[in-house]
Chain A
């Protein structure tokens, strides 16, 4: 099956610093990647949709200047949390869309646990 990796799996940083998370599709090309956030005991929430070579589309309430997304190639998208604060501590998961006929199946990475001190 299609494999999506994320790096790092866990990161702890000080308040005010920036953190970059990488999402890679290992065995397929992904024109579209998605970034989700999951707070404890909450649903996975879509933050933004990223298309290769173009600007990301952010969901309502997600600050595009705080969560910078770069999708420079068909296999790599990055999420940078700028000036992170403790309230940004969460589980960040990316997914990459494969060719699933009409469904456009999303394949998920293993997630990155971010803790901001």
Chain B
């Protein structure tokens, strides 16, 4: 079993839709959970991070962490064509700098 599982998609939605992206993980020692956005031919850009369980909201983006289920989510409200990108989940243990990534989900928002 991989440490982090993420459905690679692709996921295609109409503009304005609510998008739900998810990752599961197996290592209960992970404490920091991140979502990165990667445009084509660019490096990953940090979108959201959460420490331990709970929700975090930033504009149209909401990150959720459920440590009991080892499941994290990223919700995008009112999705825009400019949100079209690959979304990577990543996580790390406390005291460690090593990020463990999911494979990424390719999202296309159609106008």
Asked if residues A103 and B43 are in contact (CB atoms below 8 Å), the reply is: no
Residues of the A chain whose Cβ atoms lie less than 8 Å from the Cβ of B44: 44, 93, 108
| In the complex, per-residue mask of A53-64: 1 if CB is within 8 Å of any chain B CB, else 0 | 000000100000
Asked if residues A105 and B97 are in contact (CB atoms below 8 Å), the reply is: no
A116 at the binding interface (Cβ < 8 Å): no
Asked if residues B102 and A43 are in contact (CB atoms below 8 Å), the reply is: yes
Asked if residues A104 and B97 are in contact (CB atoms below 8 Å), the reply is: yes
Query: Closest residue to B38 on the A side, CB-wise?
Result: A108
**CB < 8 Å neighbour of B97 from A6, A32, A107, A110:** A32
**CB < 8 Å neighbour of A103 from B32, B42, B104:** B32
Query: Closest residue to A103 on the B side, CB-wise?
Result: B49
CB within 8 Å: A-B pair count: 54
Number of interface residues of A (CB under 8 A): 26
A19 to B97 Cα, complex, angstroms: 27
Q: A32-B97, A97-B97, A103-B32 are in contact. Are A43 and B42 (CB under 8 A)?
A: no
**CB < 8 Å neighbour of B4 from A43, A103, A106:** A43
Asked if residues B43 and A109 are in contact (CB atoms below 8 Å), the reply is: yes
**CB < 8 Å neighbour of A44 from B32, B41, B101:** B101
Asked if residues A41 and B103 are in contact (CB atoms below 8 Å), the reply is: yes
Query: Of residues 17 to 51 in A, which have CB atoms within 8 Å of B's CB atoms?
Result: 32, 34, 41-46, 49
Closest beta carbon of chain B to A112's beta carbon, Å = 10
Asked if residues A46 and B42 are in contact (CB atoms below 8 Å), the reply is: no
Asked if residues B99 and A110 are in contact (CB atoms below 8 Å), the reply is: no
Can you spell out 13 A-B residue pairs with CB atoms less than 8 angstroms apart? A34-B99, A41-B8, A42-B103, A43-B4, A44-B88, A44-B90, A46-B98, A49-B97, A95-B43, A104-B97, A106-B99, A108-B36, A110-B42
**Chain B: residues with CB nearer than 8 A to chain A?**
2, 4, 8, 32, 36, 41-46, 49, 51, 88, 90, 97-104
**Chain A: residues with CB nearer than 8 A to chain B?**
4, 6, 9, 32, 34, 41-46, 49, 59, 93, 95, 97, 102-111
